[in-house]
């Protein structure tokens, strides 16, 4: 995995999780970075979310580190939680000789439990010794932020931006409480591109809208959801000062490739998930309407359980679309289903509904598609230009077990 110039990574055990499990990650740039982030819209925003919002209001051009702990969300913990977040950031800044307000903090885990910040402070020497600009330490950092995840989620791409080669790398965590509007999910992307903070924020906004805001596991958003990006400029490309022009578009494309890969990996690792589902809705008057319909299908428990059982109960898909609040002509609906062992080996699309009525398809053909680990639901609701794609997964017995036993 190719990593951006000037970044180093560490993942260690600090004692938040039991049994020596990795629970603390640090990403450090050798030079200050432009920074951008998007956050949860949940009213119960966690202490690190509030802290990072404050930090970015004060400093968006000189951020140099990101500290992430797992096992404790530090959410709904009051003034003590905010103080613990501040102490965590200050511990990094003191240990690594950084300026004040230069360290973003993220947390994930159980809500409502005080963060044992003294364990994080004591772990600074271990983080210092573990830091390295290697794929191995990059993976350790990715593993250190996991909660119910079964595997780390990582991606990296390299491409030309203007006259220079630019690299974007990122890691993420998330398996449950995943839904648009910052669907418990954390993601960090780092790049050696030279770009202004305002332009980086616009790039991140565009990319999140097309990736992390297009996934749903269970319809719940978390208190801690954060997607952040740091850019240290060491690639030497011509400085991207404004969110316009071919260099900006090339950078957005690289960022989107990483974000989309991470977002899909979150869905594939959804709690208890056995199937990956792509929902494409088209034919409406606006993309926003298509997105609302696709989301309604993605969060429907009836649709998700039918997918888990391999039951070709397509009526649930249309009912979910009809409950979305979007106006469309039901008689215009065309529903196609495809499935396969992977996205590159799908069975031919099967037309189940045309002009709002069932076709004369064979039930065995529909069941064959619904039984596949990859499923594509393609719903056409008219002739308008609006379209959207959302990624989701099925809802299994294992999802219920995981969340019934989360604290025990």
Per-residue pLDDT of the chain (408 residues; tens, 9 = 90+): 899 999 999 999 999 999 899 999 999 999 999 999 999 888 889 999 999 999 999 999 999 999 999 999 999 999 999 999 999 999 999 999 999 999 999 999 989 999 999 999 999 999 999 999 999 999 999 999 998 888 999 999 999 999 999 999 999 997 554 455 544 579 999 999 999 999 999 999 999 989 988 887 655 556 788 999 999 999 999 999 999 999 999 999 999 999 999 999 988 887 778 899 999 999 999 999 999 999 999 989 999 999 999 999 999 999 999 999 999 999 999 999 999 999 899 999 999 999 999 999 999 999 999 999 999 999 999 999 999 999 998 888 887 787 777 665
Catalytic residue among 40, 108, 184, 191: 184
Please tell me the distance from the alpha carbon of residue 369 to that of residue 340, in angstroms, as a whole number. 7
- Whether residue 184 lies in the annotated active site: yes
Return the domain boundaries, the chain: 7-268, 276-404
Is-contact 193 240, C-beta < 8 A?
Answer: yes
Buried b (16+ CB within 10 A) or exposed e, 99-113: eebbbbbbbbbebeb
pLDDT tens digits, 352-384 = 999 999 999 999 999 999 999 999 999 999 999
Long-range contact set of residues 358-363: C-beta below 8 Å, sequence gap at least 24:
363/312
pLDDT tens digits, 131-144 = 999 999 999 999 99
Read off the DSSP letter of residue 145: T
**What's domain 276-404's superfamily in CATH?**
ArgJ beta chain, C-terminal domain (3.10.20.340)
CATH topology of domain 7-268: 3.60.70
Is-contact 217 180, C-beta < 8 A?
Answer: no
What is the value of pTM for the model shown?
0.86
């Amino acid at each position: 995995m190719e990593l951006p110039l000037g970044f180093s990574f560490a993942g260690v055990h600090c004692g938040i999780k039991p049994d020596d499990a990795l629970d603390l990650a640090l990403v450090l740039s050798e030079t200050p970075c432009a920074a951008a982030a998007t956050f949860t819209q949940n009213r119960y925003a966690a202490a690190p979310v509030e802290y990072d919002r404050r930090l970015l209001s004060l400093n968006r051009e000189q951020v140099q580190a990101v500290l992430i702990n797992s096992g404790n969300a530090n959410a709904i913990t009051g003034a003590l939680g905010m103080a613990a977040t501040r102490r965590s950031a200050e511990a990094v800044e003191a240990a690594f000789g950084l300026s004040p307000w230069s360290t973003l903090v993220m947390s994930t885990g159980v809500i409502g439990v005080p963060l044992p910040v003294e364990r994080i402070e004591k772990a600074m020497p271990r983080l210092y010794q573990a830091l390295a600009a290697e794929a191995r330490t990059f993976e350790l950092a990715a593993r250190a932020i996991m909660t119910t995840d079964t595997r780390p989620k990582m991606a990296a791409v390299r491409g030309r931006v203007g006259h220079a080669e630019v690299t974007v790398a990122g890691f993420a965590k998330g398996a449950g409480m995943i839904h648009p509007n910052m669907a418990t999910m954390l993601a960090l992307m780092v790049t050696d591109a030279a770009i202004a903070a305002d332009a980086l924020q616009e790039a991140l906004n565009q990319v999140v809208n097309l990736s992390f805001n297009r996934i749903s596991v269970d319809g719940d958003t978390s208190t801690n959801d954060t997607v952040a990006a740091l850019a240290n400029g060491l690639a030497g490309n011509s400085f991207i000062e404004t969110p316009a022009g071919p260099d900006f578009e090339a950078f957005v494309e690289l960022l989107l490739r990483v974000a989309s890969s991470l977002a899909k990996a979150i869905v594939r690792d959804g709690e208890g998930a056995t199937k990956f589902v792509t929902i494409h809705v088209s034919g409406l008057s606006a993309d926003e309407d298509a997105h609302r319909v696709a989301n309604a299908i993605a969060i429907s428990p009836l649709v998700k359980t039918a997918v888990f059982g391999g039951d070709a109960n397509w009526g649930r898909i249309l009912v979910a679309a009809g409950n979305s609040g979007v106006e469309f002509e039901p008689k215009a609906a065309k529903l196609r289903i495809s499935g396969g062992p992977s996205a590159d080996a799908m069975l031919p699309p099967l037309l189940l509904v045309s002009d709002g009525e069932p076709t004369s398809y064979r039930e065995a053909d529909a069941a064959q598609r619904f039984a596949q680990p990859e499923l594509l639901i393609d719903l056409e609701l008219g002739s308008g230009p609006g379209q959207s794609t959302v990624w989701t997964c099925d809802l299994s017995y294992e999802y219920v077990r995981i969340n019934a036993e989360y604290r025990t």
